[in-house]
DNA sequence: CTGTTAGCGCGTTCAG
DNA sequence: CTGAACGCGCTAACAG
């Protein structure tokens, strides 16, 4: 447990000199520096990063709080964050929001252990975030909209995405449009649903309550929802699933029942997850660039830390990705 | 950026008193404590965790270094770690090993920012780990075996797993057993292969070199290996794939060639990844309990920190998971 | 029993 | 190249 003092003593210099030498500051004579470095090696000296951070009052590290470290969080998003921070020489550490408010999440948020945080954890209470607002501590929230202009939001335009997906089906001539949604309290889901409703409204199509189903955002949920839909008798001609996972499940259910996709029924998802392009037929979907979200979040945090920005909100557009699971409606009246 | 000093000043007490009050130490009179707490609230005081850690020389946080924060790392394992640390009131932060040795990984390892680390990142150089060995800093390595008795290893018994899988096929009457392996330098793969060879030997079955193939641990690799196997003419009656990914690929290849699994050919994998149970037929495989590994790792680190243990190594057993991709060999000679 | 003084942990950095 | 202050909170020892 050698400290810089030990190194200095062994090298026969002052602590300050040792510090300069160890940080390769040129004001130290090469000879001396070498002696210091050797002493450090001999003693197996390792700097105490905590002391350093304390003194410099910065950590050059950003924290990201995710719902569950063990869950499949958005990997593209994480990659975007990582890549961007790396170019700015910032480190990244992640923690999960589980465990009440004595967790690492609150350490990140309240105890200055990181220079800024990115939050992607629905279960983290609003209050905890709001309480953590303070000068010069950028907080980027990706999973909700909070009422504070010290918080920067990066969100996806879920409403438009839902609208786009629905409008696409309508454009193909579909009028009987089911919606398989995610958890009802989920904000993203609500907005996608709003988009769906608005699109129907704008085309004067009446919403059919029995075609509004819940699939919990899971593959199994989508599967069951699709089964229910078929059991009801009056099947729709197209289905908009609020995420791709459910769409995959629903697709399976429809295919099992002998329906041909997209000939008999069109299906569109949301998210553009990886397998969407591999399943058969490849899934049409609405894409949100998670990499871009992550990268933007990281970029904003860097800016906030180094140049300063006003707490602005960013809403990223969604993009329709058309593959093979949607096609023109059959002419029923023909 | 209020500090404890400001709080003390506002409350009209000494800094030490403020500290006691904030930590709910009973030696401070309730009245005074209340004044302090109020002052803290007024000033929106938040303790500087870094200063605290520095003084106490411990962080009560464990770091886990994974290959890639954005990749699909073993989620069950992470859950095991999380659960266990939580019960001991330790925090967990994760970082990835990418980015050279100026990364957060080295901050974890060398700068005392965490009380201990768990490593699950093949790309992290051995030297970096070895350099980081020091008194009272537990390091648990899950992905390799290092030559230092200050390092604790938690590994899976890959040899036995390979043996089990092979023996299972032998028990079913198979004698023509192919092996589709992972990267040859990969330790896990080597051991699984050793297990395979040993099992053959113990049953006096000669190893057939043209049935030993390489699939790089990827689905595509497994697919190609299976194709090659079939092109060779003398197809085996059973295949042991060193991981499930390759087994999935191989299965696809065999099915495409019109083989019926398991009637025409038995196939067994390794890892028990999630999709193994969903594919058709569900894959028989060798399971390693990742949750258990994670939980054990966390437990060991806690013990090392609080009670002390000798750097011992732990090898966890594997378990055969029989599903539908293996069945009795056809009687060729009948 | 309550509150205060003072030193510590460790590295950084300014004035000399 | 060095001495000393500093960042901030903790805590042992002491005084009232």
pLDDT digits (tens, 9 = 90+) for A254-291: 999 999 999 999 999 999 887 788 788 999 999 988 88
Collapsing DSSP to helix, strand or coil, B147 comes out as coil
pLDDT above 90 (res A301): yes
pLDDT value for A248: 93
Name every chain B residue with its beta carbon within 8 A of the beta carbon of A1: 134-136
pLDDT value for B333: 46
The rounded distance, in Å, linking the Cα atoms of B178 and B254 is 13
pLDDT, mean of residues A4-14: 93
The upper half-sphere exposure of residue A305, i.e. CA atoms within 13 Å in the direction of its Cβ, equals: 24
pLDDT above 70 (res A334): no
pLDDT above 60 (res B101): no
* Whether B275 CB is under 7 Å from strand D: no
Could you tell me the CA-to-CA distances from B216 to A186, B182, B184 in Å, in that order?
40, 4, 8
* Whether B29 CB is under 7 Å from strand D: no
Collapsing DSSP to helix, strand or coil, B37 comes out as helix
pLDDT above 50 (res A321): yes
pLDDT value for B326: 97
The rounded distance, in Å, linking the Cα atoms of A191 and A145 is 12
Polymer length in residues for chain B: 334
The rounded distance, in Å, linking the Cα atoms of B37 and A16 is 39
pLDDT above 80 (res B1): no
Cα angle A197-A199-A204, degrees, rounded to a multiple of 5:
90
B53 part of contact set with chain A, CB < 8 Å: yes
Question: For the segment A169-195, what is each residue's pLDDT rounded down to a tens digit?
Answer: 999 999 999 999 999 988 899 999 999
How many angstroms is C1' of D8 away from CA of A115? 17
Identify which of B322, B298, B320, B307 has the alpha carbon closest to the alpha carbon of residue B114.
B298
Identify which of A334, A324, A312 has the alpha carbon closest to the alpha carbon of residue A138.
A312
How many angstroms is C1' of C12 away from CA of A85? 25
* Helix residue spans in A88-157 (DSSP H): 104-110, 126-131
Nearest chain B residue (CA) to A94: B94
Cis peptide before A302 (omega within 30 of 0): no
The rounded distance, in Å, linking the Cα atoms of B261 and B268 is 11
Q: What does DSSP assign to residue B157?
A: -
* Whether A331 CB is under 7 Å from strand D: no
Confidence of residue B334 (pLDDT cuts 50, 70, 90): very low
* Helix residue spans in chain A (DSSP H): 4-11, 15-22, 30-43, 49-56, 75-87, 104-110, 126-131, 158-171, 187-202, 219-231, 244-256, 290-306
Collapsing DSSP to helix, strand or coil, B150 comes out as coil
Q: Which of B75, B96, B107 sits opposite A82 (nearest CB)?
A: B96
Burial of A185 (0-12, 13-18, 19+ CB in 10 A): exposed
Q: Virtual CA dihedral for A220, A225, A228, A234, nearest 10 degrees?
A: -140
Fold for the domain defined by A2-52: 434 Repressor (Amino-terminal Domain) (1.10.260)
CATH class for the region spanning A59-155+288-315: alpha beta
CATH class for the region spanning B156-286: alpha beta
Cβ contacts below 8 Å, chain A against chain B, sum to 121
The rounded distance, in Å, linking the Cα atoms of B240 and A9 is 61
What does the mean pLDDT of chain A come to? 90
The rounded distance, in Å, linking the Cα atoms of B209 and B232 is 12
Q: 10 Å Cβ neighbour count for A255?
A: 16
pLDDT, mean of residues B280-298: 91
The rounded distance, in Å, linking the Cα atoms of A103 and A82 is 23
* Whether B13 CB is under 7 Å from strand C: yes
Going by their DSSP bridges, the two strands B285-287 and B319-321 should be labelled as antiparallel
How many angstroms is C1' of C2 away from CA of B1? 29
Protein residue at shortest CA distance from C1' of D6: A55
The rounded distance, in Å, linking the Cα atoms of B177 and B102 is 47
pLDDT, mean of residues B232-250: 93
How many angstroms is C1' of D9 away from CA of B317? 47
How many angstroms is C1' of C9 away from CA of A292? 42
> What phi, psi does A8 have (nearest 5°)?
-60, -45
pLDDT above 70 (res B332): no
pLDDT, mean of residues B131-156: 91
The structural domains of chain B, with segments of one domain joined by +, span 2-52, 59-155+288-315, 156-286
Residues 96-125 of A with CB under 8 A from B: 96, 98-99, 102-104, 107, 110-113
Residues 58-77 of B with CB under 8 A from A: 59, 61, 63, 69-72, 75-77
What ranges make up the beta strands (E) of B204-312?
212-214, 238-241, 266-268, 285-287
The rounded distance, in Å, linking the Cα atoms of B75 and B79 is 6
Identify which of A252, A268, A235, A244 has the alpha carbon closest to the alpha carbon of residue A169.
A268
How many angstroms is C1' of C12 away from CA of B195? 56
pLDDT above 90 (res A238): yes
pLDDT, mean of residues B103-116: 89
Q: For residue B160, what is the enclosing H or E element? A: helix B158-171
B292 part of contact set with chain A, CB < 8 Å: no
How many angstroms is C1' of D7 away from CA of B289? 46
Q: Which of B44, B77, B135 sits opposite A134 (nearest CB)?
A: B44
Burial of A183 (0-12, 13-18, 19+ CB in 10 A): middle
Q: Which residue has the higher pLDDT, B101 or A206?
A: A206
Distance from CA of A120 to the nearest CA of B (A): 14
Contact of A179 with A196, CB cutoff 8 Å: yes
pLDDT value for A41: 92
The rounded distance, in Å, linking the Cα atoms of B157 and B314 is 9
Q: Do B52 and A92 touch (CB under 8 A)?
A: no
Name every chain B residue with its beta carbon within 8 A of the beta carbon of A99: 86
Sheet holding B212-214, edge to edge: B212-214, B177-181, B238-241, B266-268
Q: Which of B49, B72, B96 sits opposite A112 (nearest CB)?
A: B49
The rounded distance, in Å, linking the Cα atoms of B218 and B242 is 10
pLDDT above 90 (res A307): no
Q: Which residue has the higher pLDDT, A103 or A15?
A: A15
pLDDT value for B228: 94
Asked which of A47-56, A156-165, B22-31 is least confident by mean pLDDT, the reply is: B22-31
pLDDT value for A101: 52
Q: Partners of B1 in the beta sheet?
A: none
Q: Do B113 and A50 touch (CB under 8 A)?
A: yes
Going by their DSSP bridges, the two strands A319-321 and A285-287 should be labelled as antiparallel
Q: Do A70 and B92 touch (CB under 8 A)?
A: no
By 3-state DSSP, what share of chain B in percent is helix, strand and coil, each rounded to 5? 45, 15, 40
Confidence of residue A85 (pLDDT cuts 50, 70, 90): confident
Strand D: positions under 7 A of a protein C-beta atom: 1-4, 6-13
Asked whether this chain's domains B59-155+288-315 and B156-286 adopt the same fold, the reply is yes
Strand C: positions under 7 A of a protein C-beta atom: 1-6, 8-14
The rounded distance, in Å, linking the Cα atoms of A244 and A219 is 8
pLDDT value for B204: 96
How many angstroms is C1' of D2 away from CA of A36? 15
pLDDT value for B86: 85
Identify which of B242, B168, B235 has the alpha carbon closest to the alpha carbon of residue B203.
B168
Q: Partners of B63 in the beta sheet?
A: B93, B117
Q: Which of B49, B72, B103 sits opposite A107 (nearest CB)?
A: B49
Distance from CA of A61 to the nearest CA of B (A): 8
Sequence-distant (6+) residues with CB within 8 A of A86 are B98, B99
Chain B 41-70 contacts with nucleic strand D (CB below 7 A): 45, 47-48, 51-52, 54-56
| Lookup result for tokens 């006691």 | B20
Distance from CA of A47 to the nearest CA of B (A): 6
Name every chain A residue with its beta carbon within 8 A of the beta carbon of B78: 69-70
Nearest chain B residue (CA) to A100: B86
Reading phi first (left if > 0) and then psi (alpha if -120 to 50, else beta), residue B143 is in alpha
Q: Do A82 and B103 touch (CB under 8 A)?
A: no
The rounded distance, in Å, linking the Cα atoms of A135 and A151 is 11
What does the mean pLDDT of chain B come to? 90
| Lookup result for tokens 């060879």 | B197
Q: How far is CA A191 from the centre of its chain?
A: 17
Q: Do B48 and A111 touch (CB under 8 A)?
A: yes
The rounded distance, in Å, linking the Cα atoms of A59 and A113 is 7
Nearest chain A residue (CA) to B101: A91
Polymer length in residues for chain A: 334
Q: Partners of B241 in the beta sheet?
A: B180
Name every chain B residue with its beta carbon within 8 A of the beta carbon of A95: 91-94
């Amino acid at each position: 447990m050698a400290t810089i003092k030990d190194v200095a003593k062994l090298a026969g210099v002052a602590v300050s000199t040792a510090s300069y030498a160890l940080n390769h500051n040129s004001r130290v004579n090469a000879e001396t520096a070498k002696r210091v470095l050797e002493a450090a090696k001999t003693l197996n000296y390792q700097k105490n990063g905590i002391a350093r951070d304390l003194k410099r009052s910065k950590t050059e590290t950003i924290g990201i709080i995710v719902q569950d470290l063990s869950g499949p969080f958005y990997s593209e998003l994480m990659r975007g964050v990582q890549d961007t921070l790396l170019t700015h020489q910032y480190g990244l550490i992640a923690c999960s929001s589980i465990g009440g408010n004595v967790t690492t999440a609150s350490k990140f948020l309240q105890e200055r252990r990181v220079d800024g945080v990115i939050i992607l954890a629905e279960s983290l209470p609003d209050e905890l975030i709001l309480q953590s607002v303070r000068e010069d501590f950028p907080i980027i929230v990706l999973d909700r909209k909070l009422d504070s202009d010290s918080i920067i939001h990066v969100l996806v335009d879920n409403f438009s995405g839902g609208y786009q997906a629905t409008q696409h089906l309508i454009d193909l001539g579909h009028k009987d449009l089911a919606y398989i949604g995610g958890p009802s309290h989920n904000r993203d889901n609500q907005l996608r649903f709003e988009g769906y409703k608005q699109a129907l409204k704008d085309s004067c199509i009446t919403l059919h309550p029995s075609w509004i189903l819940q699939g919990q955002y899971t593959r199994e949920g989508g599967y069951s929802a699709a089964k229910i839909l078929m059991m009801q008798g009056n099947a729709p001609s197209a289905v908009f699933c609020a995420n791709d996972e459910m769409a995959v499940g629903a697709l399976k259910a429809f295919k099992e029942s002998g329906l041909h996709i997209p000939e008999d029924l069109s299906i569109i998802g949301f998210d553009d997850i990886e397998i969407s392009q591999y399943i058969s037929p490849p899934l049409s979907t609405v894409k949100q660039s998670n990499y871009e979200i992550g990268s933007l979040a990281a970029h904003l945090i860097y800016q906030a830390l180094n140049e300063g920005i006003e707490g602005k909100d960013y809403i990223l557009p969604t993009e329709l990705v058309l593959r093979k699971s949607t096609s023109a409606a059959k002419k029923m009246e023909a």
